[in-house]
Amino acid sequence: MKYKIALQKTDEGYSVSVPGLPGCWSQGATEEEALENIRDAIGEYLAAREDLLRGTVVREVDVAG
């Protein structure tokens, strides 16, 4: 699965967020470290979301665009 990320150089290194996953962000001293950290953050975000949705009806809809 692929997610678009927003990577930004900062004074401390790199900041990275996932626009499609509100609140999912990370950072790293290098670009490589930031990318590795956001992969971990996405995995943890998705696991937490699954726990929150357990017991609910989840459906998909098509959106014309």
Q: Hey, where are the domains in the chain?
A: 6-52
The pTM of this model reads: 0.83
**What is the structure's pLDDT at 15?**
98
Q: What is the pLDDT of residues 38-56, one digit of tens each?
A: 999 999 999 999 998 999 9
Distances (CA, A) of 27 to 13, 37, 43, 53, 58: 7, 7, 15, 27, 31
Task: Give the list of residues 6+ apart from residue 13 with CB closer than 8 angstroms, or none.
Answer: 27, 28, 29, 30, 33, 34
Task: Give the list of residues 6+ apart from residue 22 with CB closer than 8 angstroms, or none.
Answer: none
Indicate whether 65 pLDDT > 80.
no
